[in-house]
Structures are given as structure tokens and as C-alpha cells.
Structure 1
Amino acid sequence: MEIKKSLFDNLQNFFGFDNFKGEQEAIITNILQRKDTFVIMPTGGGKSICYQLPALMSEGTAIVISPLIALMKNQVDQLRAFGGTDSIAHFLNSSLNKTDTAKVKQDVLSGETKLLYVAPESLTKQENIDFLRLIKVSFVAVDEAHCISEWGHDFRPEYRKIRQVINNIGENIPIIALTATATPKVQQDIQKNLQMTDATLFKSSFNRPNLFYDVRAKKNVLKEIVKFIKGNTGKSGIIYCLSRKKVEEVAEVLSLNGIKALPYHAGLDAKMRADTQDKFLMEDVDVIVATIAFGMGIDKPDVRYVIHHDIPKSMEGYYQETGRAGRDGGEGYCLAFYSEKDIEKLTKFMKDKPVSEREIGTQILKEVIDYSESAVCRRKQILHYFGENFNEAGCNGMCDNSAHQKTYFDATEKLQCTLRLIEQLGEKFDDQHIINIMMGVENSQITSYEHNKLPEFCSGKADGEILWKSLLRQALLDNYLIKDTDSYGLLRLSKSGRSFIEAPHTVKFIMNRPMEAADDDSDENAPSATSSLDTQLLQMLKDLRKKISKQKNLPPFVIFQDPSLEEMCNHYPVTIDELKQIQGVGAGKALKFGAPFIELIKKYVEENDIDRPVDLVIKSQANKSALKVSIIQNIDRQIALEDIASSKGITYEDIIREVESIVNSGTKLNLNYYIDEMIDEDRQDEVFDYFRGSEQDSIDIALKELGSDDYTREEIQLMRIKFLSELGN
């Protein structure tokens, strides 16, 4: 009773809470009784209080082993704010200089420090072990304990040395291991490695009922992301990408589109990362675009959405990253984009790894593929992965699959046949092998086992691969089968599976929805193929162009070319900034000719009550912008085009195309130094006069009119560039 009163007093005095959440009270009591404690609790469940509060109440200093400097800093800052003194919590890691380290050790030795956060790399240093021997350690907290297991999504070899170090520091030191993501296999690894098989296990449900899970085919992904964020203006969000390059690119596109976004990855210096983190916490920035380096231990309760630009490497990673949304119990939208190209990239990353690591990595990745492609309730699949059964009716439409219309098929006979086949084959094969038998795929493994001679071989080809994938996935989710992770994911029959073979009952399974193929990245910003051209507006824009061309005595194509007018009819730009984003316009042309066009479009939109698809006018970085800038600089220095092409490792045809693109977007280039060397003045004048009087800018027609014996295609092309640059820009 005394401990209970003391617990609540300390919770109220230090953290300002009146009640514990979930099993926090039981966990804290267990560690205060100096018992080994293993906590599996989802992100947002309140893990940190489980070791912070007992540390404050115990004699001595608690050692908290944590993998990230950002996480340590965040928690130490919070504890100091609660405790009112800097000495109450410290961290010891590579970011400290000698003076800082001496101050930390002095505070710890004086007994003022109740929590000392240590990186696993720092913990194993002999000087730190010698120091920790001098103090009374109340207990050791191993945060992010899944890092111990090769089956975890964030394996760190240093974590496997923790037990040995604890033994060196002192005897009978209790341990509390904590993680937000642990499959049964990972749980087993953690307990075995930390030698805490007798620990009290506290496992909360992995269900986060406030999170909406949505997986989409990766098509026009930047457009989709900008559209989603614009629809959630003012809300905080995190976007995860697999590479630093993609992080930078996505952050740049968001910024160009008026979204307050910053990149975050390990390639940025520590100060910039800390500043970015602070800006996100202080809401100076709405969106962080990050590699997985961001978010661990970031205590921001009101992140409203987490977007995966690239599908993650593991279900643990996906669960932990999506878990950063809606930690306050409020709205949390988890949107992931999936494409087979991403899977190919992730598979390539693994090819140079040792065989055992590659085998594990392949199995972990396969779970992500099955999750993404399945039409079964996302929540059911996530919870099954973490060893928890869930009735999909409890999802309440909080995932795309539960909300979508589903197609069912009668699986009774096919399931019985499949289970019987797995039994006959001695439960020695994985799901892909079983699918290959049903589909009649004659690969080396099938033929070496002579499974191409089985009566089942090719018997399911007419049903299609999607059906067999759907069937095996749901046989696992409904516990007819068990996947043996220790043995390369081989399928074993469960008790229910064996019963079903003997006494089948009617079973209906959901057919997977085929994921659409993803477009190439180069097409991400292309206009939507479904958008229909507004022909009435197009004619009005062409009439306006003709009128302006007569006023300025210029051919119409100098003002805006047809593809630009057509894109205006899809996107209805009504400001100069929006017009600049139209293909082939650019800043120069928008400022020189744009005003009457946007006035006409604005009036047309108002009169016809048009709902403008502004969310689809995505401003993007100019393709190869660095190359274009370099070409402009070299032309300013009057370097020959052949030499520029050679220095950039591109062909002469490529350089001409790039120069045309620069001029078409409204930038003025002076190529006289180059053209004067190639074409004499009289011939230049003749071509110039031709284009001035022509309504078309076709090189083929110009060659025909001017005579292909007198001019080469290259000469006409260069003169057209000069003409457009001088008169249009």
C-alpha cells in the first residue's frame, strides 16, 4: 500500500499525471521490487515513464541504454524540465567533449543524477565500465531492445554485448528491456541474449484503433503526396524515404509548393538535425521528410499523418514509423506507396550481405510484400505479425481494405487440397514453392524434387497466381498454417489445419486486389492521363495568342507553344506563379506574355464555375537543373556547344535539346558567337525572316520551304533557337 501511495505521489509531483496508463503501474512496481522486467508496448503507450519513474524513486543511478543521440537529448531535456535541475539526468555519448564528460561523471558520483543515458557503443568502452563500477546502479533499462535481434528491423551488434557489460559492472543488477515492436521470434531472442528468461513479461495490445492504414500503388507519387498534404493544411506529418537523395528531392518539391517542409537524414550535420527537430516540435515546420533516422524518441503527440514514399524494409519498421502518428489518441493517417520497383531495390541492397543475413532479410521483406498486396484488413495482418489474433470487424473501417468493396471466393476445396499437399510434402517448403506447384512453374527446385510429376502440378493455373497468394496468406492469418521463421519460412500445419483436412467446413477468402504498376519517377509530374482537354478554353487561348502575336508582330509559337496552351486547359492557372509551372512557360515567358492569359483563364473559371484541380499543379524541380545552369554559364562564357557537350559527357544532339528546352521556358541565351561561326549573316537573315512570317515552328517545313540543299537541319534548328530567344524571351 505504501509503495502504491508513493507511486501516485511521485507520478503527480514529477510528471503531473493523476493516473497510470495501461500496465505502467504494474511494470514500475515490478522493477521497484528489483525483478527483471520485459515490456512490449506500442509507440505512444508510455514506455519511458516505466523506467523514468522507478529511477527517480530508487537509490542510485539508473543506466538507460538508448541507440540514438537525438532520442537521449529529447528525453534528458524533458526530465530536466520536470525535475527543475540539470543534474537529474545526463547522457554519455560521442557528442560530448572532455569538459562535458567530466561534468557528467562528477554529477553521477555526487549522487545527483538519477538517470544516465548511454549509447551501446559508449557502454562497451573500458573507461566507462570502470567508471560505472564506482557508482550504485539502481537498474539497467535497455530501450529499443529489438536492436538485439537479427530478426528485428534495426539490428545492432553492440546490443548483443550489453549482458556481458552489465555482468562486469556489478552483481544482481535488475534489467528492464523495452520495445515497441517485437514478434514472438524477436521476444525470444531478446530474453535469451539478456539472460532474462525468468523476467516478468508485460505485453500490451499492438492495436492502435485511432490509426487509419492505407496502401496505394506508387503512381504519380509526388502529386499524390502534395495533394494529400494540401488537404491536411496546418497538420504535422512525417514522410519517410529510403534514400537521402529522395529525402532531399521530396523536401524540395514540398517547399516549392508552399509546404513548410525540411529534410532530415544522417548526412546532415548534428546541429542542423537538432535544429530541424526543434523546428518540428515548435511547429515552425509542418512536415519532416526523413530517412528512418528521424522519429525515434521524438515526443510529438500530435503528428497527424505518416507517409511512406517508399515501402519500408520490414513490418516492424513500418509499425514503428506509422506509430509516430496520433500518439495523443487523436487522428492518425498512415499512407504508404508500394511498387515492385521498390522491392527490387531493397532486394539489391541485400545481395552483398552474408547468406544467413540475406535469408533473414528476404523473409522479413516478404512479409511487407504480402501485407501490401493483400486485400485483407490491414490491422488484422499487422496484429497477426506480432502474434496477436484480431477479428477484422473490430477495425471499424479504419483501413483501406476494410473500407473497400471486397471480392470473395469459395476456398473450401482449394484450402483442403493445399493443406493436404503441404502435409504430403512433409511440411518442408515455403508458400512460393506451393504456389509454383499449383501454377505449373517448372524451375530447378521443382524439377529437382520431381514436384512437376505431382497430380497437383499446374492444377491451379486457370485460377491465377493472385488467388493462390490470397489463399495462402489468409490460411496463415486464420491460423490454418504456421510460418516457421527459424527454418526459412517453411509452412507447417497448425492444429486447426490438420482438423480442416479431416473435417472441412465452408470457408470464403478475400481475393487480393492487383496493385497497379507504378510509373517511372520521370513521369511523376506528368499531367494526369484521365484529365480531359477543355477544347472551348483552348480555342479562346489560341485566339488570344493570335491577337497578341499580331500586336507584337510575332509568330504565335513564339508566345506560347501548343503543348503549353493544352496544359493550361487542364490546370487552369490563375496566377503568374501557377503559370510558371506550366510546361514550356518558365519565369521569363510568364512575366513577358502571361498577364492577359491568366486574366482570360480567371474569368473563364468564374463564369463557368469550374472547380480548378490546383492540387494537381505540382511545382517540381527542373529536371537536370544543375546541368541547365552549367550550360547557361558556359554559353555566357562563349564556349562552343561541342566542347560543353564533351565536358558534360553528353552528345551534341543532347546539348541542342537542352538549349532548346532552356529557351522554350523563357530564358534568353546569346548564341551569336557560335552561330556567326557557322552561318553567314545573309543566310541568318533569310531564316530569321522566314520564322517571323511563319505561323508554324516546324524544322521540317522550314527545310522544305528554304531548300534542304541550301541549309542543314542543324542550321535551321540553331536559327530557330536564336529567333525564339531574341523575340520571345
Structure 2
Amino acid sequence: MTKNTDLHSILKTYFGYDTFRPLQEKIITDVLNGKDTLVIMPTGGGKSICYQLPALALSGITIVISPLIALMKDQVDGLNTNGINAAFINSSQTEAEQHAIYDRVKNNDIKLLYAAPESLSYLESIFTNTEIALIAIDEAHCISSWGHDFRPAYQQLGFLKNRFPNVPVIALTATADKATRDDIVNQLNIPNATQYVASFDRSNLSLNVKPGVDRMQQIVRFLENHTNESGIIYCLSRKSTEAVATKLLKEGFNAIAYHAGLGHEERSTIQDQFINDDIQIICATIAFGMGIDKSNIRWVIHYNLPKNMEGYYQEIGRAGRDGLASDTLLFHSYADVVQLRQFAEKTSNSEVQLAKLERMKQYSDALTCRRKILLSYFGEYLEEDCGNCDVCKNPPQFFDGTIIAQKALSCIARLKEQEPIGTVIDVIRGAQNNTVLEKGYNHIKTYGIAPEISWNNWQQYIIQLINMGYLEIAFHEKNTLKLTTLAKAVLFNNEKVPLTKPTDVKIEAPKKTVEKATPTNNLFERLRQLRLEIAKEEDVPAYHIFTDATLKEMEAERPMSDEEFMQISGVGKRKLQEYGYQFIKEIIAFTKEKKVKKERKKNTYNETLKWYQEGLSPEEIAEKRRLNLATIYSHIAKLYEEDKPVDIYQFISKSQVEAIEKAQESLDNPSQLKPYFDYFEGSVDYFTIRLGLSVLKKNK
């Protein structure tokens, strides 16, 4: 196994990060020690590094099983951009292209080779003649019929462990309940694999749910608040994707439909255009997104209720993968539930699918913190309400709804429990449509008993009564409403029924912007434009050059030297060499044009000092300020040099300062950080060196 210090060096050099995310280092250490592992880590949580970094540390080649060509291509592009030799092999390639890859493998020129499970026959010569260091199974939930994207070809993968018993296997997926996890390890023949389940809490995602009323009008207003941002609208049917995309185009939005009915070439073109920011909005069925590693998707809308919590979680997880704030919006309706039940009843494991749909419905109808409900589904529990969902931001207002409940229950009783929700509401409101008149419902006692309550509000009240157990839907009897035993207490004993006021569908006006961000007046936009130009030249997605989060940190810190640029999270050695000069040049040019003074730096230092004085650790300050940890340490060093009240020896020992002083005496270029890093062979972090130099500078 490689040294622990080497892992951090590889992480920074190739991936540009100074520290590992939770669980990553433990998982990587297990893999390097030859242990089989199962990793359940949410989208954007850093799964890929768990096998990509070991691939660099191990001799031999790492085989990665991945379900989609688009996903493989995206991962390989990203690795190559980071200076890591990777390739994929599949049936779409010519024989000459495949032989070129075989030759690269023979010459040890490839560290990671991607293939779909259906393409494993193409790897036979590699399996026979090459040292296999690691086998990674990505999107591992596809192996299980309990999973939400079951793919039969994955079930053959158990032979890999039999053929390579001494090669560690790492299986990874974003979502899997316990039944799916057990199925994965058993089918892959790794029953003793260490299972790592990361936190499912994506706190940067806001969770919002609204009734499916005037959906298009709500979506248009939503998008007017998200101009120039990428997003996905998920729909249940192909027809809906096309209808929504057409309406958005008429409203002036850059949108397109994506579904399985399109040709392969057309789907690939749409994906590429979305990845490269040529298309802003994709209106898609759930088939879209698994192959997308796009980090700057800022929002996800569900036009219809999803069929289960796993799919919903994975789909909203495609937003905000760079860690920046992103929005999710789910529309739901009674009609969605009916349609999804029909789909579920036709499946081979209908009982399981119906139970999962019921949990999804409970989430959408929730009157308590949605994140608590979502996380509890995956076995994780929040002590406090999240504060970043619609329920937390606008808690429901309860009132005595006993009379409303009695009117609804009485009407259902007089209809002899033979009608669905729509007809019940029509009778209560005194509608004069064919169904009501032909069946003579206009003559029953509860006809027109409450026309003052709107149709949509009545629907929400009745759904609340269903959720509270006073009513149930007989799906097998054309979705008719039935009274439960609990209803008798309301009808005959005047039991109190608390209801909540129906959600008002507010069509918000767009937020007012003080000044439109353009490439000339906003550094982030200028850096984004530069990134786009480079991406077009290199024919790779823009986010493979740098993520939005990295650009945001450049905007905040404004690095103007190689050393400062390397301190930015997401900047590795190769990216410094390839792109550092252009980005630093842009930052310097912007700074000169705007005559940005050092006050700004003082402000950011003082902000760090304020949190330090309140007792926060550097890690907590970095999280609070959404800055790289190394940046916070550079602030502490600067504050110490300026005689601010900072106890530097909280963060560095006197023996480390002495070691840095000794190194300083022997180095040719003691003003740069990298010579020190090389001198200590990576055993001393950059920020420790920075702190030590500050102490030495002040003591002179």
C-alpha cells in the first residue's frame, strides 16, 4: 500500500483537493489493502475518487464497469483533463480503435479502462495478459432487481471475483436500501465486503413541493428567477417532455425534449449540447441523467410525482454537484398517484413498488421537515429541522376543519362510497356536469353543500383526510373513496379534525437584479467565459476544466501567482500547468481594471478572525465561509503576521517551525512553497509550511 502522505499528494496533484471528503480516505485505504468494499455515497459526494485515486497508486490496470457510453465518455474526458490516462472500450468503436487501446494497455499507458457489462468480451485478452489491479462496479444498484434501474446484464458480473479472487472489488452507487445492498454484495460474490454508507444529506439542495396546479405558469416564473442556469425538468411521459419543451421555447427559454423515442444519435447530440452549455434546459423522462456528471446543474424540477424515493433522490442529486446552493421543485397531484399505481401493479414485484410509491406520496404530502423524511428513508436521522425546505420555511397553519371533514365524509357516505375524488368534489360544489346529472346526484342532500371552497382546495382537504386515515382509496374499484372506521367518530361523535390551509400556488415575480452580470463587470462571469473558450478548443465539457465552485473561490481569493493558484480547491498540478497562466492573467487584468484595493483582502481576513475569536476551528470556518481549508490557514498566517490576536501554535508545533527553518537554510528558492513541500517529500502540508514561514518572518 502507498504511504498515507502519498495519498494526499496524489489527491492534490491530480484532483486539486487538499483534504478528503468524509469516508473517502478510509475507503481508499481498504481498497489499497486489498479489501472488497461497497460504497453507498450520494451523487456529488465524491464516489469516483474512491476508485480513481487507488488506480493511480496501484501497479496494473483498473477495470471500471459502467452502464452507459455517455457516462464512460464523460468520466474519461474528466480523467484525461486531470492528466490521468484513461480510456473506454465498447461496441461502437471500430476494430482499429479497439486495437489502439489494446496497444496502450500493453504499453502500460492506461491506468483506468471503462467498459459496459455487455462489452466484457472485448476485454478477454486484457484479462488474460494484463495485471488487473482493481475492479470497480459503478452504478452497482443496476445489478439488483430490488434497485430502481435494474439491468439484467449486470447479473453476470459475479464471475469477475471468481476469476480474479485476489483482486479487490469496489462496488459503488448513489442510492440503495438494505435489501439492494445485500443483493449487490451477494451477486458480486463479495459477501464480506466492508459496507460504507455516507451521509445522504445534501444540505445545499433546497427541497420544495407544490400541488400540480398551473404547473407551466409556476415553472415559467421559477425559470425567470434562474436565468442563465442549467437545469432538468423530469416528466412521466415522452409526450409531456415535448409539450413542456415546446411551451418553454415559446416563452423564450433555451429548452429541448429528451426521451427514449429519439434516435441514438439525436440523444447523444442533445446530451453533448447540454454538457457543453449550448442547451440550458432539458425536459426529459427519467432515462436522462445517469450519464451526466455535469457539476453546474443549478436546479431540478419534477413535473410529476416520481415513482419512488430512490429515483427522486438520485434525480435531485444531479443538481449542485459542485456544492453550491441549488433548487429542487416537485409537483404532485392525485392523477399522478393513480397513474403510477397502474404502472406499479403491472410490475413483477408490484407489492414492493406500491409500497415505495406510498412512501413517495407520504413525502409529497408531508407537513413536517421534508429532509428529515427523505433522510430517514435511507436510515439517517436529523435531530434538527433542516431550514432549507418549503415546510421549514413556511410551516403549515392548522385550523379546526371538523365541519369541512364532516361535509366531505357525509357526501361520500351518501354517494354509497361508489365515486372517485373528482366526482365527490363536483357533488359537494354543486357542479352540473353529465356525471352528476345522469346519476341524479343533484338530488342528494349533500349536493352543493360547500360551493364557496374552490375545487383545488377541496382536493387538498380530501387528500389530508386520506393521509390522516379517515378515508382510503379503493384503487381496484376505479379509485373510489371509502370511509374507514375512524370516519364514524367524526360523523357521529363530533371528533375534532385539524386541517391545514391549502398551499397557495403563488406565482412569484422574478427577483430584481441590481446589475446584470456580464463578462466585463463580474469576475466570475469573465472566468466562466474563459473556461468556455478553453473547453471549446479542447472539445471537453466546461466543468472538466474547473467547476463553478472552483471559479467562485478564484473570484473570492483572486490568486495572482502559481503558489496562490495551487491553493484553490480543484486546482491540481496539471491544471496549474495547463490553465494557470490564462486564469491568473485574467484575474490580474480584472483587478487592474477595477482598481481593487487591499481593503477587500483585509475584509476577508477580518471575517476569518471574527469566527476564530468565536471559537470555531479552521475546518468549521472553511465550511461556514464555503472556502478551501488552505485558504483559511493562509488567512490565519496573514493575521498572525499583522499582530492580530491569533495563537499560531494552536496550528503548528515549535518543532515543525524549527524543521521549516532548517529547510529554509538549504533551499535555493526559499520564498516559494513547493520547494519546501518537495524537501519534506509531501509529509508536511502546504498550509503548515505557510504558517511556519509566517512565524519565521515575524521572528526576524
TM-score by length of structure 1 reads 0.55
Q: What one-letter code is carried by the residue in structure 2 that aligns with 1:241?
A: C
- The question of whether the paired residues in 1 share the 8 Å contact of 2:369 and 2:385 is answered with no
Which residue, out of 196, 200, 223, partners 2:194? 200
Paired position in structure 1 for 2:89: 92
- The question of whether the paired residues in 1 share the 8 Å contact of 2:8 and 2:19 is answered with yes
Name the SS of the counterpart of 2:220 in structure 1: helix
Q: What one-letter code is carried by the residue in structure 2 that aligns with 1:380?
A: K
Q: CA RMSD in A?
A: 3.5
Name the SS of the counterpart of 2:368 in structure 1: coil
> 1-side partners of 2:473 and 2:354: how far apart?
22
Q: What one-letter code is carried by the residue in structure 1 that aligns with 2:12?
A: Q
Larger Rg: 1
Paired position in structure 1 for 2:4: 4
> 2-side partners of 1:122 and 1:442: how far apart?
47
Whether 1:146 and 2:137 are equivalent positions in the alignment is no
Q: What one-letter code is carried by the residue in structure 1 that aligns with 2:207?
A: Y
Whether 1:102 and 2:96 are equivalent positions in the alignment is no
Whether 1:395 and 2:386 are equivalent positions in the alignment is yes
Which residue, out of 201, 216, 221, partners 2:210? 216
In 2 relative to 1, CA 443–146 (structure 1 residues): closer, same or farther, beyond 3 Å?
Answer: closer
> 2-side partners of 1:122 and 1:136: how far apart?
19
Paired position in structure 1 for 2:377: 385
Matches within 5 A, 1:335-374: 335-354=329-348, 357-374=349-366
Residue 443 of structure 1: CA displacement?
8.3
In 2 relative to 1, CA 11–369 (structure 1 residues): closer, same or farther, beyond 3 Å?
Answer: same
Once the two structures are superposed, what CA deviation does each residue of 1:115-168 show, in whole Å capped at 9, x if it has no partner? Answer: 111112223x4x544642332211111111111222221111222221124423
Residue 317 of structure 1: CA displacement?
0.7
In 2 relative to 1, CA 513–461 (structure 1 residues): closer, same or farther, beyond 3 Å?
Answer: farther
Q: What one-letter code is carried by the residue in structure 2 that aligns with 1:235?
A: E
Residue 463 of structure 1: CA displacement?
4.8
Which residue, out of 220, 241, 255, partners 1:247? 241
Matches within 5 A, 1:697-708: none
Once the two structures are superposed, what CA deviation does each residue of 1:381-435 show, in whole Å capped at 9, x if it has no partner? Answer: 10010011122x3402x1111222335699xxxxxxxxxxxxxxxxxxxxx9xx8
Name the SS of the counterpart of 1:83 in structure 2: coil
> 2-side partners of 1:179 and 1:512: how far apart?
38
Q: What one-letter code is carried by the residue in structure 1 that aligns with 2:178?
A: P
Paired position in structure 1 for 2:661: none
> 1-side partners of 2:391 and 2:144: how far apart?
31
Once the two structures are superposed, what CA deviation does each residue of 1:326-350 show, in whole Å capped at 9, x if it has no partner? Answer: 2222221110110121222222233
Q: What one-letter code is carried by the residue in structure 2 that aligns with 1:45?
A: G
Once the two structures are superposed, what CA deviation does each residue of 1:495-549 show, in whole Å capped at 9, x if it has no partner? Answer: xxxxxxxxxxxxxx99677689x9xxxxxxxxx99xxxxxxxxxxxxxxxxxxxx
> 1-side partners of 2:467 and 2:20: how far apart?
52
> 2-side partners of 1:349 and 1:9: how far apart?
51
Paired position in structure 2 for 1:458: 485
Residue 194 of structure 1: CA displacement?
2.1
Residue 38 of structure 1: CA displacement?
1.6
Which residue, out of 260, 267, 270, partners 2:261? 267
Structure 2 unaligned segments of length 5 or more: list them: 401-462, 477-481, 508-700
Q: What one-letter code is carried by the residue in structure 1 that aligns with 2:297?
A: V
Structure 1 unaligned segments of length 5 or more: list them: 411-431, 446-451, 469-508, 519-527, 530-729
Tell me which of the two structures has the higher relative contact order, counting C-alpha pairs closer than 8 angstroms and 6 or more residues apart: 2
> 2-side partners of 1:99 and 1:293: how far apart?
31
Residue 193 of structure 1: CA displacement?
2.2
> 1-side partners of 2:124 and 2:499: how far apart?
57
Paired position in structure 1 for 2:156: 161
Q: What one-letter code is carried by the residue in structure 2 that aligns with 1:458?
A: T
Q: What one-letter code is carried by the residue in structure 2 that aligns with 1:60?
A: G
Q: What one-letter code is carried by the residue in structure 2 that aligns with 1:65?
A: I
- The question of whether the paired residues in 2 share the 8 Å contact of 1:28 and 1:53 is answered with yes
Whether 1:74 and 2:74 are equivalent positions in the alignment is yes
- The question of whether the paired residues in 1 share the 8 Å contact of 2:399 and 2:500 is answered with no
In 2 relative to 1, CA 137–373 (structure 1 residues): closer, same or farther, beyond 3 Å?
Answer: same
Paired position in structure 1 for 2:394: 404
Q: What one-letter code is carried by the residue in structure 2 that aligns with 1:136?
A: E
- The question of whether the paired residues in 1 share the 8 Å contact of 2:141 and 2:176 is answered with yes
Matches within 5 A, 1:268-287: 268-287=262-281
Is 293-302 or 208-217 further displaced after alignment? 293-302
Paired position in structure 1 for 2:328: 334
In 2 relative to 1, CA 5–340 (structure 1 residues): closer, same or farther, beyond 3 Å?
Answer: same
In 2 relative to 1, CA 300–156 (structure 1 residues): closer, same or farther, beyond 3 Å?
Answer: same
Aligned residues: 437
- The question of whether the paired residues in 2 share the 8 Å contact of 1:309 and 1:337 is answered with yes
In 2 relative to 1, CA 436–273 (structure 1 residues): closer, same or farther, beyond 3 Å?
Answer: closer
Matches within 5 A, 1:502-651: none
Residue 104 of structure 1: CA displacement?
2.1
Paired position in structure 1 for 2:38: 38
Q: What one-letter code is carried by the residue in structure 2 that aligns with 1:363?
A: A
Paired position in structure 1 for 2:285: 291
Q: What one-letter code is carried by the residue in structure 1 that aligns with 2:386?
A: C
Q: What one-letter code is carried by the residue in structure 1 that aligns with 2:140?
A: A
> 2-side partners of 1:61 and 1:348: how far apart?
47
Identity percentage of aligned residues: 45
Once the two structures are superposed, what CA deviation does each residue of 1:158-191 show, in whole Å capped at 9, x if it has no partner? Answer: 22221124423x2322111111112222222222
> 1-side partners of 2:188 and 2:204: how far apart?
34
Q: What one-letter code is carried by the residue in structure 2 that aligns with 1:75?
A: Q
Paired position in structure 2 for 1:565: none
Name the SS of the counterpart of 1:353 in structure 2: coil
> 1-side partners of 2:475 and 2:149: how far apart?
34
> 2-side partners of 1:461 and 1:300: how far apart?
54
> 2-side partners of 1:328 and 1:183: how far apart?
25
- The question of whether the paired residues in 2 share the 8 Å contact of 1:305 and 1:332 is answered with yes
Residue 96 of structure 1: CA displacement?
1.8
Residue 437 of structure 1: CA displacement?
13
> 2-side partners of 1:281 and 1:436: how far apart?
41
Residue 269 of structure 1: CA displacement?
3.3
Whether 1:137 and 2:127 are equivalent positions in the alignment is no
Q: What one-letter code is carried by the residue in structure 2 that aligns with 1:399?
A: C
Paired position in structure 1 for 2:459: none
- The question of whether the paired residues in 2 share the 8 Å contact of 1:240 and 1:308 is answered with yes
- The question of whether the paired residues in 2 share the 8 Å contact of 1:441 and 1:458 is answered with no
Q: What one-letter code is carried by the residue in structure 2 that aligns with 1:121?
A: E
Q: What one-letter code is carried by the residue in structure 1 that aligns with 2:63?
A: I
Name the SS of the counterpart of 1:140 in structure 2: strand
Paired position in structure 2 for 1:305: 299
- The question of whether the paired residues in 2 share the 8 Å contact of 1:438 and 1:461 is answered with no
- The question of whether the paired residues in 1 share the 8 Å contact of 2:161 and 2:188 is answered with no
- The question of whether the paired residues in 2 share the 8 Å contact of 1:373 and 1:514 is answered with no
- The question of whether the paired residues in 1 share the 8 Å contact of 2:2 and 2:32 is answered with no
Q: What one-letter code is carried by the residue in structure 2 that aligns with 1:6?
A: D
TM-score by length of structure 2 reads 0.57
Name the SS of the counterpart of 2:392 in structure 1: helix
In 2 relative to 1, CA 233–191 (structure 1 residues): closer, same or farther, beyond 3 Å?
Answer: same
Residue 2 of structure 1: CA displacement?
5.7
- The question of whether the paired residues in 1 share the 8 Å contact of 2:134 and 2:167 is answered with yes
In 2 relative to 1, CA 406–135 (structure 1 residues): closer, same or farther, beyond 3 Å?
Answer: same
- The question of whether the paired residues in 1 share the 8 Å contact of 2:206 and 2:326 is answered with yes
Paired position in structure 1 for 2:630: none
Residue 371 of structure 1: CA displacement?
1.0
